[in-house]
């Protein structure tokens, strides 16, 4: 029998559907209401009936936030992007600043040397807690929420607990290995941001490191084999992680459960997943729990090369690190044109981009990260209709005769063709596309008229004026033409 608690939670979900800021289509509203009345059992057969909600299909852009004790030292060697450097040397030269504690545990690593030179050999990592707590007192979560909404993001995911075991919410679950250390932030950072993000009309998800907790282990991770071996498998840790997930669900009803680095085998994931879906019917679960079920997959510093039927979400930092790294400069941070092209490419293949921001300990975001966010947002102000609420077309990409990379999306009866490279001249040539008589053409961001002509198997669109901007250019065709491929 359904508990009164679950009935209350589903009524809350029903109310949020009617009062939320997102505009629902009639079909989308019906699906959402039907989902609110589904009761999930703690079995894989029942859990696997869950489907990806429309809000996530439509969202396209989310903001990932890595923020914690590691934001105080804010240091890592800027070695390079994940996947582009030798995996055998990755951990000792780890460019992820949020892995500071693990890198510190590897004697002789660049982080180990930096830490001793800066703080002294006897300075324990968890002594950063006092500085972090002092720094976050003046943090304004509304400013973050306003920024993320302004640039076009539809959802936010915060690291509630990273691998170091430090929590950004006032957990009532005691850590049996605290050894007198304060392992929760004094301020309810997760709760304050959740309130601000939802007030801005965005969805709020929570990351939790279920597979790694360095308060339960002391040996460092030096290679990928160590990574698997360092996942605590004790019943004690399984109870601890399970209790945390239930606490986060009860306190914040996150729109996404974003787990990382697997999960203890003794954990009660079937029970947690069913409980979560019954509490948050429009919620989602990522693919990093180590079980054969997820709502979406999460390539890291990577992307898929074709349209993928299963929903996916590429995640990456603006630089080489997720946590703030004071060493990173313009050479390490993705250029605006590449960032825009990355988002377009991901969306054309049925993905979302979860773009990471690494704030400083006091919550301020560095100038170079702000620059990239604002430039992306300015481009989306003009071209966002080609991405948000769109779906993949019959093909994702093509190469124009002049070598320009082209991506396609569709929405309603329109086809959007995004030219990723700056286009020279006033003509756009779309390979292997044929438009019907009466097709209208618009270059987003201009009011100039366009003329269409068919040249062999290509569609040539000529604008009456100069094409806009320094980055990708978007052509909108209505009705959507046919592909000749």
pLDDT tens column, 367-412: 999 999 999 999 999 999 999 999 999 999 999 888 889 999 999 9
> Region 443-466: what's the mean pLDDT?
87
Domain range annotation of the chain: 1-37, 44-386, 397-483
Q: Check pLDDT > 70 for residue 12.
A: no
Q: What whole-number distance in Å separates Cα of residue 269 and Cα of residue 277?
A: 12
Six token digits for residue 407 = 């991506």
Burial of 164 (0-12, 13-18, 19+ CB in 10 A): buried
Query: What pLDDT, on a 0 to 100 scale, did the predictor assign at position 400?
Result: 85
DSSP structure class, residue 297: B
How many residues are recorded in the chain? 485
d(CA 277, CA 320): 34
- Average pLDDT estimate for 286-299: 97
CA gap 135, 133 in Å, rounded: 5
- Examine the pLDDT at 197 and tell me if it is beyond 50: yes
- Rounded distance between C-alpha atoms, residue 165 and residue 68, angstroms: 10
Q: Which two tokens stand for residue 197?
A: 């993000």
Picking from 228, 226, 160, 166, the residue whose alpha carbon sits closest to that of residue 194 is 160
Res 469: pLDDT: 72
DSSP string across 451-482: EEEEETTEEEEEESSPPP-SS-EEEEEES--E
Q: Which residue has the higher pLDDT, 467 or 436?
A: 436
Going by C-beta distance under 8 Å and a sequence separation of 6 or more, which residues neighbour residue 254?
A: 194, 204, 205, 206, 248, 280, 283
pLDDT averaged over every residue in the chain: 92
Q: Under CATH, which number does the domain 397-483 receive? A: 2.60.40.1180
pLDDT at 13: 40
Angle 26-36/4-19 helices, nearest 10 degrees?
Answer: 170
Fold of domain 44-386: TIM Barrel (3.20.20)
Beta strand extents in 240-296 (DSSP E only): 256-259, 284-285
Is residue 10 pLDDT above 50, yes or no? Answer: no
Q: Which of 73, 70, 53 is nearest to 119 (CA)?
A: 73
At 33, is the pLDDT very low, low, confident or very high (cuts 50, 70, 90)? low
- Of 16-20, 69-73, 82-86, 137-141, the poorest mean pLDDT is in 16-20
């Amino acid at each position: 029998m359904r508990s009164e608690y679950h009935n209350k939670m589903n009524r809350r979900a029903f109310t949020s559907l009617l009062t939320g800021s997102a505009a629902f289509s009639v079909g989308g509203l019906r699906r959402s209401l039907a989902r609110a009345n589904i009761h999930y059992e703690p079995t894989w057969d029942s859990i696997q009936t869950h489907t990806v909600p429309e809000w996530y299909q439509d969202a396209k852009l989310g903001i990932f936030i890595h923020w914690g004790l590691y934001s105080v030292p804010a240091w890592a060697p800027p070695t390079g992007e994940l996947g582009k450097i030798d995996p055998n040397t990755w951990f000792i030269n780890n460019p992820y600043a949020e892995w500071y504690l693990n890198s510190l545990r590897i004697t002789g690593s660049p982080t180990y040397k930096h830490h001793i030179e800066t703080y002294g050999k006897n300075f324990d990592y968890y002594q950063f807690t006092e500085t972090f707590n002092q720094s976050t007192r003046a943090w304004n979560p509304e400013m973050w929420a306003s920024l993320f909404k302004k640039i076009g993001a539809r959802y936010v995911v915060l690291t509630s607990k990273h691998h170091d075991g430090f929590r950004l919410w006032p957990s009532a679950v005691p850590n049996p290995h605290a050894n007198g250390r304060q392992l929760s932030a004094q301020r309810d950072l997760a709760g304050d941001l959740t309130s601000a993000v939802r007030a801005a009309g965005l969805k709020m998800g929570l990351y939790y490191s279920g597979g790694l907790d360095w308060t339960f282990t002391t040996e460092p991770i030096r290679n990928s084999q160590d990574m698997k071996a360092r996942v605590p498998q004790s019943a004690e840790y399984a109870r601890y992680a399970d209790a945390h997930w239930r606490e986060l669900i009860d306190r914040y009803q996150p729109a996404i459960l974003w787990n990382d680095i697997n999960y203890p085998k003794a954990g009660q994931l079937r029970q947690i997943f069913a409980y979560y879906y019954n509490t948050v019917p429009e919620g989602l679960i990522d693919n990093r729990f180590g079980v054969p079920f997820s709502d979406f997959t999460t390539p890291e510093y990577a992307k898929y090369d074709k349209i993928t039927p299963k929903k996916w979400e590429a995640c990456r930092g603006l630089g080489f690190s997720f946590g703030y790294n004071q060493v990173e400069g313009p050479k390490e941070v993705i250029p605006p044109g590449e960032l825009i092209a990355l988002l377009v490419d991901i969306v054309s293949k049925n993905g979302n981009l979860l773009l990471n921001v690494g704030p400083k300990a006091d919550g301020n975001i560095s100038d170079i990260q702000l620059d990239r966010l604002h430039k992306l947002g300015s481009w989306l102000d003009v071209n966002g209709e080609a991405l948000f609420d769109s779906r993949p077309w019959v093909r994702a990409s093509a190469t124009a005769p002049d070598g320009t990379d082209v991506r396609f999306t569709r929405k309603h009866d329109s086809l959007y063709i995004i030219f990723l490279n700056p286009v020279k001249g006033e003509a756009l040539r779309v390979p292997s596309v044929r438009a019907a008589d009466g097709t209208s053409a618009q270059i987003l961001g201009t009011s100039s008229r366009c003329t269409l002509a068919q040249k062999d198997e290509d569609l040539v669109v000529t604008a009456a004026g100069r094409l806009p901007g320094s980055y990708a250019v978007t052509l909108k065709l209505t009705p959507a033409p046919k592909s000749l491929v």
